Structure 1
Amino acid sequence: MSYTLGNSELQTITGNTQLHYDAKSFIIGGKRVFLNIASIHYFRMPRQEWREVLVKAKLAGMNCVDTYFAWNVHESEEGNWDFSGDNDCGAFLDLCSELGLWVIARPGPFICAEWDFGGFPYWLKTKEKIQFRTDNEEYLRYVYRYFDQIIPIIHSRQITQNGTVILVQVENEYGYLAGDASGMSYMNGLRDALLSRGIDVPLITCEGGAEGTIEGANFWSGASVHYEKLMRKQPDVPKLVTEFWTGWFEHWGAPAATQKTPDLYEKRLMEVIRAGFDGISHYMFFGGTNFGGYGGRTVGSSDIFMVTSYDYDAPLSEYGRITAKYRTAKKVSLFTQALGEFLLESVPMDKGEARCVEGIDLQGREWNGQKLWFAESNKQEKGVFPVTLGSGRTLSVPIKPGQIATILDRIEVCPGLRLTSGGCLIGNDRLGDVQTLILAGDDGGRTHAIFEADQAIHYENAGTILLESSSDARTLRMDAFHFQTPQRILLKVGGQRVEIITLNGYMSDRAWKLQGDDVRWAIGWEDMNLGADGCVSGVSGGTNCETLLLGNWGSKSGNGWEHQGSTVRNSGNVTKSLLLPSISEWKQKAVNLLALGTGELAESPQGFAELGLAFGYLLYSSDVECDQDHVSTLVFSAIQDPARLFVNGQEQAIIRQVGAASTAVRLLKGHNKLQLLVQHMGSLNFSPYLGEEKGIFGPVYKDGSAVDLRRGWYYGEEVVHLDEVHAAPFASALTRTFELMENDHALLVGAICNGLRINGTEVSIAGYQNWFAYHAVDISAYLVKGSNIIEMPVAQSPLNRLELLTYNGSGKLENWSIDVLDDAVEFDESSDSIIGTGPTWNRSTFDLPEIPSDSNPKLKLRMSGMSKGYLLLNGRNLGRYWQIGPQEDYKIPMAWLKKTGNELILFDEEGRMPDSVRLFYDEQSNRSWHTLNKA
């Protein structure tokens, strides 16, 4: 039996091309829809992985996909458009349609996304007089040319054109940047550009709107506040969480971003549902990878550069594996499906007659006599708490500390039958002629439920479920235990058969709902997948874990099980030990620094975009003559990436601070060859100052000075140190003095605040916003020789950086040579290789061992012992690495491997030996996959 996920749902969409909305929800094909949205970016994975990731989203209960479109991927060089292979975004949209997934298209042009330059192509920086994200004529000329390419791809796949694109976003998070008249003019212009190119589905915005669009909110917490804000702005439209932040991005040198636990994730989702939102976009649902140089750079300090992994601690890992958060997302989305109509029609209500013990907060929603309660625990321990509802009905409800548990109050689960229960309803589906209810609970927990009907309720197969029927048999009380073995009871109400299945936490985490021509359930499976051929496969749930197949699986499935509600005990996961690829002996070739730096000279260093480069490495060289040995302070007036400093071929320092920076250098009497190796680490993806040049692109001065200005301020008579925590913002500006002696130029760099004054004159910082927490400004014109007074309001602490750099114009280093380090390196036996003394290329090869057909392996590269550089696999750039954490392992896409002769090249800035670098499969790779049905 062939089974295509989402086929009938897709027919429902395309059979009625009308898309409407009101204050309650979007209405598609005449039906209200609660949008469970998976944020997935096609450009962060190989095309061959799209299906697996999208199917996993569908199996988690997602009915919609949200994706950005990355301009710089499609026009990496001006005029050269690429919509092929991994960049075929039209094919991605077509696959969403095939799988029955609606789409929210977010073409930008600005997307943020922790993606280099927020999605803009690097070469836009080189255009004269261009200003980004404004009504700038030069900027809009290129934006509209981009729209001419990307919008037809989206237009032809709208629901109005028999596709599944239901919403298109105008720009992105513009309210964080500007909300004035000029900003609205810009947004309205982009809106009109979309409309004129045939977009006729509703337009949305997020965190900042445009006239005639539906605005959504981006957040992680404070759902009720965001809901009320949207209600005040647009009371008559649906309320979407356009980005619900499931995790967070990571940057080099920072701790891992794993602060949002699955339990907290569930609580925040319940807050969103409780507030009344009718759509939740899980940003990210699958994060993927920043291959190549596409990892961005964000605000908060001068050197926050994205790691190569964009795992995001999302429900699906970077490798497409399910996580504990995935199971949470699945549970909550199944809950919204089971109660979809109620959630979209209901309104908030007062507690009324509902009562609970102190420490349990009750909030509710109601519709048509039905009620749903959200019981939030402020207790320190888990407990079973009595809750009394209307008519004196009392339930015992288990609630964990901080949890928001749901209580169904006379919810009509099928015509004539109402359910009151503290269990989490994750299934309410008609399977054949049986209405099937699935209640999830904790391991070893209990669910108290009350069924009320217009007719007598008959039951059978009670087993360990305790039942108590009223005298007229129209009320049935049930006390069910959540065992590892699913508990089942069959009711009959009039002519309707109803089955109740109770699952414990372990089994409900392993419950899968498959929606196609009909609905089926597979319970007890660790993981599930659906192939392009319609075959459903799964990984068994563990030793003695019973599996349950519900619905029409054909007369016999691939495992020979009966089709209706059969239960089979597993013998456990069948695992195998896959053979690992073996890396051959490494060949090394050192970069001869002293042989470089003899090319065409420039007066000052130039940046990447100036040289026509999107990413990669530059080597800056300058000759410095000294009349004696001494230590000098170099001042970099414009540097936007970390730099490694070499003098006469020997490394002296790595410069981490950027914007403007300094470092001490030991210079010898006579000739010194000063060289700086700089890797493009990503352009700002979110900032008031998009479009910064990369690398070193301003004058460099010797014999300067650097002073940390964070300490020694005065607030009245109180001494204040800004690198320390202060409990409250200061009511007025702080003051500090500094001396300017032999040097005549000065830069202030770091967490500057608006309102900065020097010697009584306010320093103009055009466009700067304090939340950016980083800027570099030339204050030379405000200074006097000798003592200077600086005043600055300070709203928060501690400050990561506030530094005064001074220099004299006569110390400018001139005659720079700039070399591009490309990856066209030749490895041969005669190569002169000096390892461990400077930048080095490393090359190895490996073959791919035989992979069993019942496996789904994922390959990683662990970069133990290396320093900083980037990776190439068979000529593809896998991204940057930097062994300062938090990333240690790097994704090796199986789709980019060959059977034999895979070439792996590592460029390492310090020339470290890759003896400890190794390939390995993730833990799930050794699991065996079983076919549940035959296609």
Structure 2
Amino acid sequence: MIKRFYLFLAVLVLLACNAAVLGQTSNDHIFPASAIAKPYIDFDSKGFLVNGKRTFLVSAGLEYARVPHQLWYDRLLRLKRAGFNCVEIYTMWNFHEPLEGKFNFSGDHDLGAFLALVKKMGMYAIVRVGPYYCAEWDNGGYPIWLKFKRGLRVREDNAVFEEYVDRFFDKLLPIVFNNQINKGGAVIMVQLENEHPNGWGTIMPDNYFKRLQSKALNLGLQVPYFFSGLHHSSDPAGDGKLDDSSRPNPWFSTEFWSVWYSQYGAKPADAGVYDRRTWKIIAHGGNGYNYYMAHGGSNFGYTNNDEDAASYDYGAAVGQAGDLRPLYYTFKRAAFFAHSFKEILENSIDATASIKNITADSGLKITARSSKAGDLVFLDNPGATALKPNLRVNDINSNIRISVRPGEIYPLVHNFNINKAITIDWAFTRIYGIIKQGNTTTILVEAEQNEPVSLHFLAAGKINVPQNSTEIKITGNKVDVNGTMNGSGVAVEYSFTTGKQKIRVLAMNRTALDKTWVAEMSSSNIIISGVSYLGKAAFKNGKILADAEYPLTSKKDGPAMIYFEKGSALLLNDNQRSVSAKAIVKLSSWETKNATDAAASRYDDKKWFKSSSPLQMGADGDLTPYVWYRTRFSAPTTEKYTMQVDGGGNGTVFIDGKRAAKWKIRDGEVSFDVKKGEHTLAVFTAHDGRDKLVAYLGAINDVDQKGLSGDATLKNGGPFISTLANWYFIKAAKVDKVKQGPPVFDTSQWKKYTIGADAFDQKEGFGWFQTIIPAQREGFTKLILSFRSVDENATVFINGKQISHHEGWNTPFNVEVNDSAVLEKPMTLAVFIENYSNEGGIDQPVRINNSGDGVLLTGWKMRGGPGNPDETTGWAKLAKNRLPDGPQFYRSQFTIPAVKGQHLIWRVHTNGLSHGSVWINGYNLGRYPEKIGNDIGIYVPECWLKQGINKLVIYDEDGERPDNVRILSEQAAGRATYKLAGNIN
């Protein structure tokens, strides 16, 4: 069913955020701060106030759990340089309590250190504490051990679940709350729960929500908070205005989906699409947004869900390896503008009606925001061609003609007070940002070659203009800047003073502004232009020293300029070199270590976990996606046998140590040839990630089982399970008509149906699904119908007679038909589905099992884990003629070439391998193969590499040979690095 894919989440959350659709299950309200925190973080219906000042929140979604702690500073600085003043994070439960009662808040798990770093960098944090997260993360963030707690039901008023949530929160929440802004920390808002089907904003539909609220408040929650999220969408502004007189708080989006988790890298259209969607928020009354994701990162270890592998790049603005995409620069431009005019945007009303006649061009949509601080007018060109409207503005002597690009939302500024002495009367050129530098205010404006630079000021006091400034005209208290942008790409400067206040206008084209950065210094902000990316910057002995970089795929940076309060200077760049991203890493000869020992007949399994029937993965406390199972059985004859067992993932059968068969465990059975006699049966199981359980409420013990589970039976012959095809569907009016049974089948009314398709057009609805079960062979007395998942509730009929009813989606159930007279003839199977939200239908194939009873296999033992990748013994040279025969470890060594001025990004390409995991120097990089459709390789964080010899270990589940494995540098993500230096007079 499409619920298994990303479109489900989009539809789910859009509907969940729409109170008109879901009644009282959602709103976009925020609980206010406590009295003690209000001076530090507060809001009204028009905007946020942080430390008493109007603040536009430009937030970056990233997960500290997906970034090594050594790289936290680097990623945060990249976001800060782009104008992000806030980060939004999840606190994954299974990341901090992977084993029951054993909490981890150190190293990469040190949430307190991360929040302290956010504060040190002058940024804020929004913390989403769960206990459910989604996030394309293993099990949605639930620890595996929760699956084995009797009576537990997640996200409901369930005493068992709440007991463990309370214990986790007792450890987690004090860390978060000790970092609240009123306590000197970075945390300005908290989200309880996440994307719950029944409660968003301030809606609390049941005691589960009330208990979460009570727990958080009792542990010291004082900043504003809300449930589940606010305005999740890839285009959260939509087509309407965002003002809402009934809303007591600002408009904010906690998940503005920028690109998607199925993508790696940038696509040509991304920057334009999300640039426009961001400006729609700004232009229509939004008060902030959080991009999910601004930086995606990696699913290290076994943290991926079943839709991902190692990469969580997301196509984000800051790539998985820290590279900057075109999207980054569009986000930077919008952020700088929003911060510059936060006094308007965080306290404004819709003023469109008063300004609608500014142009007669019908191709433009006009909106305006107005406050005591000034006015913003937005010219929206939704079309595919540029528009050049004439602007009609009183008191401006000449007609103003600008160019609005296709899809652009062009901002005009009116009546904005820069300070007590100077006001921007009108700015017809795009203002990129306004930077305060002591008594100097620098205005960055954007114009392309031959476009006008047109800004008009009002000044209180005597106005002084440098000599030879012919493009600045003084008329009384008016200062008119009217120039034309040159084509050199070099910034054009216009300036004037009144009293002690100086206005400096720096006009550049977009390319130059992409290379312009603001760094906060202890005494004043500085602006550095001409640098592809500005890293650390500091004053030392009267000099500015800074780190800089440019992509290996671009030209070297040219001259760089620094603009400080009292002037500007040329910066020297140190040793910009021509570098190559095509450095080669040579791997040493491969060694192998047998990982199939557990299949051998005489293997010592005495200390393994024991059970009468096989238990699903995690029952033995192991957290990996690998489990070995063992038992013994007797074959009375030499022939084909079939083992039927439930579970999930991939399975490999070994008989007496030799590989006999492979199968998808969810198929329900596997057949293999066996000789007469006593045998050891060993089964190796693996999976590629657990379901994230989006929108799921209830018991999780049987949901998305991995490994083997339930009774295992052995039957002579087979296979016996087949999949039902040729389904038909017809909509039904009401659920109460189900008792009447299925309607008469007529192909003019019933339509062909494909398993997994949405039958309800993403809406609530009811319907009948029907097919024919073939007649069974004479002598069969029992037929099992196996339903993996229906969406949502199902009532099952055979030949018009109801035989079963099931509640809930994504949980398997079986239906038994045991009337031999019925089995002898073709049977009509009809399923009535009740769908209460979004997509619906039969999610997964329906199978029939006519094997009857078999011999029950008992006396099972299990052991989780692949073994120790750091084991020093048992390794041997990989023979050229060795063929795969089950899971194997492989290892090699390599040295990374060190070249000054290079920051190369290295990836392990697992060409020729099956499924598995990769370690570098003991660090688990994550799972392969990637599921995003191309061979990107597995990212190796540079902090995990060493000078000299590095160790590579691979665990391949099928034992495929590593002959074609390569470690290559990724040219698109690589950077050249250099130093900047200059004197500050």
What TM-score range do you get, normalising by the shorter chain?
0.7 to 0.9
Partner in structure 1 of residue 830 of structure 2: 790
- Deviation of the 1:341 alpha carbon: 0.9
Aligned-residue CA RMSD in angstroms? Answer: 3.8
Distance 1:200 1:821, change over 3 A: closer
Aligned residue runs from structure 1 range 716-727, under 5 A: 716-718=746-748, 720-723=751-754
- Residue in structure 2 matched with residue 745 of structure 1 by the alignment: 784
Q: Greater shift after overlay, 162-171 or 453-462?
A: 453-462
The one-letter amino acid of 1:565's match is S
Aligned to 2:919: 872
Question: Residues 869-908 of structure 1 correspond to what in structure 2 (within 5 A)?
Answer: 869-882=916-929, 885-886=933-934, 888-908=936-956
Could you tell me which of 847, 852, 867 is aligned with 1:823?
Answer: 867
Aligned residue number for residue 433 of structure 2 = 427
- The reply to whether residue 522 of structure 1 matches residue 528 of structure 2 is yes
Note the 1:651-670 alignment, pairs <5 A.
Answer: 652-655=661-664, 660-662=666-668, 665-667=671-673, 670=676
- Matches of 2:80 and 2:170 in 1, distance apart? 31
Please report the TM-score for the alignment, with normalisation by the length of structure 1. Answer: 0.84
Q: Structure 1 residue 421: deviation in Å?
A: 3.7
Q: Per the alignment, do residues 609 and 416 of structure 1 end up closer, same or farther by CA in structure 2, a change over 3 Å counting?
A: same
How does 1:63-74 map onto structure 2 within 5 Å?
63-74=85-96
For residues 473-529 of structure 1, the C-alpha deviation after alignment (integer angstroms, 9 at most, x for no partner) is 654544434641112222345764322111112111111111243211111111121
**Structure 1 residue 399 displacement after superposition:** 3.0
Out of 623, 631, 635, the position equivalent to 1:625 is 635
Deviation track 1:434-491 (CA, whole Å, cap 9, x = no partner) reads: 321101245x46245241425687655888x966777996545444346411122223
What is the one-letter code of the residue matched to 1:894?
E
Which segments of 5 or more consecutive residues in structure 2 lack a partner in the other structure? Answer: 1-35, 732-745
Aligned residue in 2 for 1:219: 233
Letter aligned with residue 324 of structure 1? P
Counterpart position of 2:348: 346
Q: 1:407-806 counterparts in 2 under 5 A?
A: 407-414=412-419, 415-442=421-448, 444=449, 446-453=451-458, 459-460=465-466, 474-481=479-486, 483-492=488-497, 496-517=501-522, 518-530=524-536, 536-539=546-549, 542-543=555-556, 545-551=558-564, 564-567=567-570, 573-577=576-580, 581-592=585-596, 594-595=599-600, 599=605, 602-621=611-630, 623=633, 625=635, 627=637, 629=639, 635-636=644-645, 638-644=646-652, 649-650=658-659, 652-655=661-664, 660-662=666-668, 665-667=671-673, 670=676, 676-687=683-694, 688=696, 690=700, 692=703, 693-700=705-712, 703=718, 704-709=720-725, 711-713=727-729, 716-718=746-748, 720-723=751-754, 729=761, 733-739=768-774, 741=776, 742=780, 743-754=782-793, 756-758=795-797, 759-761=800-802, 763-768=804-809, 774-780=810-816, 785=823, 786=825, 787-792=827-832, 801-806=844-849
Helix, strand or coil: the match of 2:231?
Answer: strand
Displacement after TM superposition at 1:901 (Å): 4.0
Supply the AA of the counterpart residue of 1:584: S
SS in 2 for 1:779: strand
Q: Which moved more, 1:722-731 or 1:701-710?
A: 722-731
Q: What residue is the counterpart of 1:810 in the other structure?
A: 853
Length, aligned pairs only: 879
Residue by residue over 1:201-221, the C-alpha shift from the partner in whole angstroms, topping out at 9 and shown as x without a partner, is 2223334xxxxxxxx322221
- The sequence identity of aligned pairs, in percent, is 22
Question: Which stretch shows the higher mean deviation, 505-514 or 419-428?
Answer: 419-428
Please tell me whether the aligned partners of residues 343 and 373 of structure 2 are also in contact (alpha carbons under 8 angstroms): no
Aligned counterparts of 1:144 and 1:699: Cα–Cα separation in 2: 35
In structure 2, what residue type is equivalent to 1:858?
A: I
Tell me which residue corresponds to 2:906: 859
Paired amino acid for 2:253: V
Tell me if structure 2 keeps the 8 A contact 1:661–1:805. no
Change (3 A) 1:218 1:896: same
Once the two structures are superposed, residues 65-106 of structure 1 have per-residue CA deviations (whole angstroms, 9 ceiling, x without a partner) of 222222222222222222222222111111112111122222
Q: Letter of the 1:927 partner, please give it.
A: A
Alpha-carbon contact 1:751-1:800 (below 8 Å) kept? yes
One-letter code aligned to 2:830: I
What's 2:18 paired with?
none
Which whole-Å deviations, capped at 9, do the CAs of 1:152-172 have from their partners, x for residues lacking one?
Answer: 222222222222222222222
Equivalent in the alignment of 1:381 = 385
Once the two structures are TM-superposed, the CA of residue 586 in structure 1 deviates from its matched residue by 0.8
Q: Aligned partners of 2:201 and 2:349: how far apart in 1?
A: 31
The aligned residue for residue 929 of structure 1 is 978
Q: Secondary structure at the match of 1:667?
A: strand
Instruction: Give the distance between the partners of 1:499 and 1:614, measured in 2 at CA.
Output: 59
Instruction: List per-residue Cα deviations over 1:134-168 (Å, max 9, x = no partner).
Output: 22112211211112212222222222222222222
Deviation at 1:930, TM superposition (A): 0.9
- 1:28-107 alignment to 2 at 5 Å? 28-107=50-129
- Give the superposition deviation at 1:357: 2.4
Q: Which amino acid aligns with 2:787?
A: L
Counterpart of 2:942, as a letter, is M
Q: Secondary structure of 1:698's partner?
A: strand
Give the letter aligned to residue 770 of structure 2. T
How far is 1:779 from its partner? 2.4
Alpha-carbon shift at residue 21 of structure 1 (Å): 1.8
Write the distance in 1 (CA, Å) between the matches of 2:759 and 2:453: 48
What CA distance in whole angstroms lies between the structure 1 residues aligned with 2:601 and 2:183? 57
Structure 1: how far apart are the matches of 2:660 and 2:538? 54
- Cα–Cα, structure 1 residues 826 and 533, in superposed 2: closer, same or farther, change >3 Å? farther
Distance 1:744 1:904, change over 3 A: same
State yes or no: 1:275 paired with 2:284: yes
**1:266 Cα deviation (Å)?**
0.7
Please tell me whether the aligned partners of residues 572 and 980 of structure 2 are also in contact (alpha carbons under 8 angstroms). no
Are positions 1:193 and 2:229 aligned together?
no
CA contact (8 A) 1:635 1:807 kept: no
Judged with a 3 Å threshold, the aligned counterparts in structure 2 of structure 1 residues 775 and 161 are, in CA distance, closer, same or farther, namely: same
* Displacement after TM superposition at 1:926 (Å): 5.3
Please tell me the residue identity of whatever aligns with 2:946. K
Q: CA deviation at 1:385?
A: 3.8
Q: How many angstroms apart in 2 are the aligned matches of 1:309 and 1:544? A: 30
SS at 1:236 equivalent: coil
Secondary structure of the corresponding residue to residue 929 of structure 1: strand
Of stretches 885-894 and 509-518 in structure 1, the one that deviates more from structure 2 is 885-894
Matches within 5 A, 1:842-857: 842-850=890-898, 852=900, 854-857=901-904
User: What is the rounded CA distance, in whole Å, between the counterparts of 1:180 and 1:523 in structure 2?
Assistant: 45
SS at the partner of 1:525? coil
